[in-house]
Amino acid sequence: MIKIITATERHEAKVGDWLTSNYLFSFADYYDPSNVQFGPLRVFNDDHIGPKGIFSEHPHAEMEIITVVLDGAIKHTDSLGNETTIKAGQVQRMTAGTGITHAESNAGEGATHLYQLWFLPNKRGLAPSYEQMDVDFLDSKNKLIPLATGQKVLEDVVFMNSNSTVYYGNFKEGHEFIFQTFKIRKTLIYVTEGDLLVNNVELEKHDQIRLEDQDIVTLHANSDTSFMLIDVPATEANY
């Protein structure tokens, strides 16, 4: 199965003049029963946070939260005592587990662009925890860079409690790459910039494709292109 969701089909939400967010899945006031999750991937938000933008303190539980900063910086504080700034090229993982509260705010003078992804964890009742790493993925060329994983096959990657892997690709025009997968896995690709051909399906900026029952995923950059690739188990996590 191959499903294409165009940029215009994303749900856009705005908060005042400081936040513009595009939801790839049901979130907040947007609900579509056919678009709740993809395997354990429950949330994928594309956020632009203006100067002085603040997400005030709020709780989470039973979720693995991955934040990928593409431009600018975000300040983070939480009930574990962490107080840090996540800059462009860095990745954060927060295991909400049995419960955590946190707050986020734009740490700079300009806009901050980030992706936030939520995964249902492998098991409930985990102790809350935090990790942040400088992955330096933004300057990569013609590579698929792992940012966070729970598959225990990769080093120097943010760990998460989900049998999933989050990748970032930055391909020059004409580059082709074959991503090996299995029919018991699912793949979601979201284009950040450029034009990407995926299994002969053309995607433009902010389009996404969801693939199931595939053995390989062939990627061909029709122009200089950056994108996210999310590899998840086919089993839906429901709790």
| Distance from C-alpha of 157 to C-alpha of 231, rounded to nearest angstrom | 15
State the chain's maximal CA–CA distance in angstroms: 48
Q: Note if the pTM is more than 0.75.
A: yes
What pLDDT is attached to residue 239? 47
What pLDDT is attached to residue 220? 98
Say if residues 125 and 160 touch (Cβ distance below 8 Å).
no
Q: Does residue 53 surpass a pLDDT of 90?
A: no
Residue 93, C-beta contacts closer than 8 angstroms, at least 6 positions apart: 64, 65, 66, 67, 130, 131, 132, 148, 158, 159, 160
Domains of the chain by range and CATH?
Answer: 2-233 (2.60.120.10)
150-198: per-residue pLDDT in tens? 987 667 799 999 999 999 999 999 999 999 999 999 999 999 999 999 9
2-44: per-residue pLDDT in tens? 999 999 999 999 998 889 999 999 999 999 999 999 999 999 9
**How many beta carbons lie within 10 A of that of residue 176, not counting itself?**
11
Which amino acid appears at position 46 of this protein? Answer: D
Banded pLDDT at 46 (limits 50, 70, 90): very high
Residue 8, C-beta contacts closer than 8 angstroms, at least 6 positions apart: none
Structural tokens at position 9: 């089909």
What pLDDT is attached to residue 152? 74
Nearest of 162, 102, 152 to residue 126 by alpha carbon: 162
